[in-house]
Homo-oligomer: A and B are copies of this chain.
Amino acid sequence: MAKSKFEYVRNFETDDTCLRNCYIVVRLDGRNFHKFAEQHKFSKPNDNRALGLMTRSARSVMEELEDIVIAYGQSDEFSFVFKRTSTWFKRRASKLMTHVASQFSSSFVFYWKEFFGEQPLLYPPGFDGRVVLYPSNRNLRDYLSWRQADCHINNLYNTVFWTLVQKGGLTTVQAEDRLKGTLAAGKNEILFSEFDINYNNEPVLHRKGTTLIWEKREETVTKSMKLPNEEEKDVAVTRRRKTVEAHHCDIIGDQFWEKHPDILEDDTC
């Protein structure tokens, strides 16, 4: 039962260290979530309980892996960005992505009740992930812009599609036909002229997705203190804490990044 005789098998492991000085992005995607959504009666086009649970799970990942500087989610996907200089898991890609996938998935089941109440989770869901590296701030921002543009395109489509079905009385096949070949302007027009809906007034959560970042918070807590030769008394103490905060805003333009200059590191390093 000598272990040493077999230990040579360890040498078959390969090193998958991520290139230094690059942002490490781990993106998770739900597996068969179309079916999952149907079986769990998600409301259409967006289910706020599901979106809340995704965000809660992503927050759990960020709190576990502090080197994640920003996360962005929409629909059944979430992207996590590790800072350029992170040495978490010695930058081993496999460890980083499996830990994120694992923590997200266990959290999804763990927090289910908080969002779906008594509606039972029918089976344990699956997510798959990948790692992508981005060498510059521009590349990283373009990645996040790509995902947010994807959110917009899908949400506009889904909003019109389900409005045609739910309010317009079309079948799903008819709605699909109606939208074939339409551009953004055409879809906005259908919503506005036929259903009196201004797409820009739709919830930002649905239009912009969810961006999680670390923010410093000042908290004032009351502590009872007793100084020498004095009576005990209540004192207000101010603490600074970093917490994960959610934003539902545009991250394609410069404004968000100018307001939060600490997220990205300097390109010239």
Which residue in chain B gives the minimum CB-CB distance to A130? B94
Which residue in chain B gives the minimum CB-CB distance to A15? B15
Q: Are A13 and B64 in contact (CB under 8 A)?
A: no
A133 to B9 Cα, complex, angstroms: 10
Given the known interface contacts A12-B20, A110-B121, A146-B6, the answer about A98 and B130 at a Cβ–Cβ threshold of 8 Å is: yes
Most buried by B among A19, A131, A142: A19
Q: Are A124 and B145 in contact (CB under 8 A)?
A: no
Which residue in chain B gives the minimum CB-CB distance to A109? B109
- Measured between beta carbons, the chain B residues less than 8 angstroms from A105 are 101-103, 105-106
- Measured between beta carbons, the chain B residues less than 8 angstroms from A133 are 12, 14, 19
Q: Are A153 and B1 in contact (CB under 8 A)?
A: yes
Q: Does A45 contact B (CB under 8 A)?
A: no
> Out of B31, B98, B130, B136, which one reaches A28, CB within 8 Å?
B98
Most buried by B among A64, A99, A135, A268: A135
Give chain A interface residues in 99-157, CB to chain B under 8 Å.
Answer: 99, 101-111, 121, 123-139, 142-143, 145-146, 149-150, 152-153
Q: Are B8 and A12 in contact (CB under 8 A)?
A: no
- Measured between beta carbons, the chain B residues less than 8 angstroms from A131 are 94
- Measured between beta carbons, the chain B residues less than 8 angstroms from A13 are 130, 132
Q: Are B108 and A106 in contact (CB under 8 A)?
A: yes
**Nearest chain B CB to A91's CB is how many angstroms away?**
10
What is A's interface to B at a CB cutoff of 8 Å? 1-3, 5-17, 19-22, 28, 31, 60, 64, 89, 93-95, 97-99, 101-111, 121, 123-139, 142-143, 145-146, 149-150, 152-153, 184, 252, 267-269
